[in-house]
Chain A
């Protein structure tokens, strides 16, 4: 995958550039019009009244509630990420194993977990595990559900990354006397993680957003906390509260992406100065965030 500037077409000529300019202006006008319309309608209904939006200043409990919700979200997401990465590695290793039993077991697990909705896995952990005589808190039910699904998806990402690496890399490592696990850990995985890092990060962002499914089993993460506040304060506060919550998700995920980019750059710099790479920097680092 080389980054070429020409992805879809030749560079535009004079006529093409003119068309692109007109198109952009029209799109901008339409977008501005829609935004203005929405804002006017909201203003007409009194949704933009300062009093509604001052609720964050007037109600310190609301701020505490949302803050706690955010922390609960981050706690579940971080735990889920660490465990999902670990499970993903195990499953990927299993699927690439020379032993047929392991390969078969890992493949079955991955296919099964990937084809179930995350919500079902969370509900199964919450309702099914106690039925098996294993009590789990809402936190762990959420984390188990997220880990099971995302572990399966991550294992496929790792596997695709490893398979995209030239076979010569593996042969050279084997020829030095490295054992298969050492080849995986020291040669295949570091290259796979770097190659797949955009996909990895977007999957981890998905995991973070999916913590909102904790809602259904009454785990008080960000979304549930916000909704609780709306119910308590009245639905006229829905817009301000949900808007602020959306911003909190956006900022958190933005920070996660920034962290990933920073780790990637730091790794490149370190490579330049002759330090060896650390295998799971990107993934484990994001998890710690």
Chain B
């Protein structure tokens, strides 16, 4: 049984059709990287998986069950899925440590001391142990994004969603975030990553899904996809992004 599967998912914003007939399933431990031109619906699809966006057609199954629509069940499902945003979205009024303990303490009901111990371990792992007592705005973009990844991991998720995690970063900070993600991928975490980083897709993905105009045009292992894309759209896209 796949961990997540999207079956015939469609969505419109008014007259604007953003997702059409999306079919994708992700197995436990798999790393799927979603690429494609801007406005192809990649982010929207990613946000639908933990129901930050609702869908109009089809269905999404998580651990074999349809996504709950609301209430306690929805919150419980979201607690099992980590999400990393383009703009980090660390809680501005809380220290980094408190950002990491909020979820475990209030949602999972862990003891504060226990949650703090685990939070410090995770900060160590993403290389910012010394920032625990600082506020998000005191950190660089790359450090904030690593803290955001640690915050998601603090919930011990079974799936991690990355919504363009490096798009808001200065170029020199992109690699520090990608390194953390690469380490996470090789540790066996199930990941769905929406990104423009082709290097990451090639080296870390088990599968690449290429999206254009709200559809998944092509899905293939990275070596196949980058060396011999089957669709015209993908060839065109790769020709443009890989030329320089």
Contact = CB atoms under 8 A, between A and B. Distances in A.
A177 interface: yes
A177 B89 contact: no
Contact of A169 (B81, B89, B152): B89
A276 B78 contact: no
Contact of B78 (A177, A186, A194, A271): A177
Given A175-B81, A177-B155, A272 B133 contact: yes
Interface string B85-97: 1011111111101
B91 A171 contact: no
Nearest to B80: A177
Contacts of A168: 85, 87-89
B93 A177 contact: no
A182 interface: yes
Contact of A176 (B93, B107, B135): B107
Contacts of A171: 52, 85, 89
Interface residues of A, number: 24
A173 B103 CA distance: 8
Contacts of B87: 166, 168
A172 B133 contact: no
Contacts of B135: 271-272
A36 interface: no
Contact of A274 (B50, B89, B95): B95
A236 B59 CA distance: 83
B193 to A, nearest CB: 16
Nearest to B91: A187
Interface in B70-102: 71-72, 75-83, 85, 87-95, 97-98, 102
B113 interface: no
Nearest to A168: B89
A194 B85 contact: no
A179 B75 contact: yes
A169 B91 contact: yes
Nearest to A175: B83
A172 B95 contact: no
Contacts of B103: 176-178
A277 B107 CA distance: 18
A285 interface: no
B106 interface: yes
Given A176-B78, A177-B76, A272-B133, A186 B85 contact: no
Contact of A186 (B83, B102, B133): B102
Nearest to A165: B92
B205 interface: no
A177 B85 CA distance: 15
B91 A173 contact: yes
Contacts of B72: 179
29 contacts: A166-B87, A168-B85, A169-B92, A171-B52, A172-B83, A173-B102, A175-B52, A175-B82, A175-B83, A176-B79, A176-B102, A176-B103, A176-B107, A176-B151, A176-B152, A176-B155, A177-B78, A178-B102, A179-B71, A179-B75, A182-B107, A190-B93, A194-B93, A271-B93, A271-B95, A271-B135, A274-B95, A274-B133, A277-B93
4 nearest A-B residue pairs (beta carbon): A177-B79, A168-B89, A172-B89, A176-B103
